Amino acid sequence: MQALRRVPALNATYENETLYRHDSINLAVAVALEDGLLTPVLAGAERFSLQGLAQESRKLIERARANKLQPNDLQGGTFTISNLGVIRQVDQFTAIINPPQVAILAVGTVKQRPLVIDGGLHIRHTVHLTLSGDHRVVDGMHLGQFMAAFQAELDHFSQ
């Protein structure tokens, strides 16, 4: 999540009218279970590449679904990712911020869609991302900067 390094305003929590910006990125991952939703935390997510982050989050999700989380696995999140893209019909959605965090990224389904590239029509796999922020402490510019940085990170990964 190098995008959070570039836009540190979103790697924060807001409690008791105080904003706390965090050095470490503790990525909460929304996991749907039969009896509800959990957001286990991948602490120190900045240590991982995008591929490493995917591997580590899969392990965390497996532990959540196997009911093998420890209490500290559910604490200290500084930013959440919610992926309803596993449900093919969910192209996009708006996720609710997980207090006291100040932002959440919603990920829809990856699908083949038409794109215009250099004046030509092409079919590419794309995904709709929606970023929600707590406007008491961040604004649209922060959200836009994050999305631009995240897109650059994805573009770099795909090369």
Distance spanning both ends of the chain, measured CA to CA? 17
Exposure string of 105-131, with b = 16+ CB inside 10 Å and e = fewer, is bbbbbeeeeeeeeeeeeeeeeeebbbb
Is 97 within 8 Å of 133 (Cβ atoms)?
A: yes
Give the 3-state secondary structure of residue 54: helix
**H runs (alpha helix) in the chain:** 2-6, 50-65, 140-158
Active site residue 156: no
Q: Which of 22, 135, 142, 156 is catalytic?
A: 135
Tokens (6 digits) for 103: 């932002």
Q: Report, as residue numbers or ranges, the catalytic residues.
A: 135
